[in-house]
């Protein structure tokens, strides 16, 4: 069972999300909050697996609330997924820097949203396809000539192949299908690469792959 807290200043949005998520027997919404400050308080009280966090809210915005949650050692088991109507580059980068494990748009499909909640609760990091494309464009557009990262020498040939696929925006399932691996093995490779490179999350691997020239601009 994945427990969730909804943080959004619009009552109708929270009601809709609750109705949508509770159709899945594997998800339970344990609390709601109408601003970032109440959201942080609710997270400290209930310690959910996942927080669906809006960006534009009164009292405390979603970026600040996310940073406060991810900085609290007592909440290390809680994953924050930003769910917003805004897909501006600055918001995406700020949310990821604040520690969000995912960034989804409210235009996402119902199935995508439910799957995202379960995946985030299981420790995966995720971005909606359009957001991932923007992040890739942002990285590519801000890069000069590729500069090989010396840490890549720590990776095996297979791990480099996996990192390249991550840099192209593939999910673990897509990596598995392309490289003829099981999904569990693909996930293990990604975890191993994160550890070897000292990277915090999947978006950071994407940046490393692009800046090192593993993925052509």
Domains and CATH numbers, the chain: 2-136 (3.40.50.2300), 146-211 (1.10.10.10)
Q: Is the pLDDT of residue 139 over 60?
A: no
49 vs 131: CA distance, rounded Å: 23
Tokens linked to 111: 């199935």
Q: Is the pLDDT of residue 142 over 60?
A: no
Share of the chain above pLDDT 90, in %: 42
Tokens linked to 42: 């609710």
Q: Is the pLDDT of residue 44 over 60?
A: yes
- What mean pLDDT comes out for the span 140-148? 58
Mean pLDDT, the chain, integer: 85
123 vs 125: CA distance, rounded Å: 7
Q: Is the pLDDT of residue 122 over 80?
A: yes
Q: Is the pLDDT of residue 101 over 90?
A: no
Q: How far apart are the first and last CA of the chain?
A: 41
Give DSSP secondary structure letters for 145-161.
S----GGGGGS-HHHHH
Q: How high is the pLDDT of residue 16?
A: 93
Give me the residue label for tokens 């996310």.
66
pTM for the complete prediction? 0.67
- What mean pLDDT comes out for the span 109-118? 87
Q: How high is the pLDDT of residue 119?
A: 86
Are 163 and 172 in contact by the 8 Å Cβ rule? The answer is: no
Instruction: Identify the weakest region by mean pLDDT among 43-47, 67-71, 82-86, 138-142.
Output: 138-142
């Amino acid at each position: 069972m994945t427990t969730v807290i909804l943080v959004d200043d619009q009552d109708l949005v929270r009601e809709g999300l609750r109705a949508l998520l509770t159709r899945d027997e594997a998800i339970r919404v344990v609390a709601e909050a109408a601003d970032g400050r109440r959201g942080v308080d609710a997270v400290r009280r209930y310690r959910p697996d996942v927080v669906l966090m809006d960006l534009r809210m009164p009292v405390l915005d979603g970026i600040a609330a996310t940073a406060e949650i991810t900085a609290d050692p007592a909440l290390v088991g809680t994953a924050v997924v930003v769910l917003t109507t805004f897909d501006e580059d600055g918001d995406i980068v700020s949310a990821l820097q604040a520690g969000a494990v995912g960034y989804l748009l409210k235009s996402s499909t119902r199935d995508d949203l439910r799957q995202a909640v379960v995946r985030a609760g299981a420790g995966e990091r995720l971005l909606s396809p359009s957001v991932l494309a923007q992040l890739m464009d942002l990285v590519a557009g801000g890069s000069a000539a590729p500069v090989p990262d010396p840490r890549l020498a720590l990776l095996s040939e297979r791990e480099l192949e996996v990192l390249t696929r991550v840099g192209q925006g593939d999910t673990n399932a897509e990596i598995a299908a392309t490289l003829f691996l099981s999904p569990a093995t693909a996930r293990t490779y990604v975890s191993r690469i994160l550890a070897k490179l000292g990277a915090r999350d999947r978006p950071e691997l994407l940046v490393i792959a692009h800046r090192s020239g593993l993925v052509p601009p």
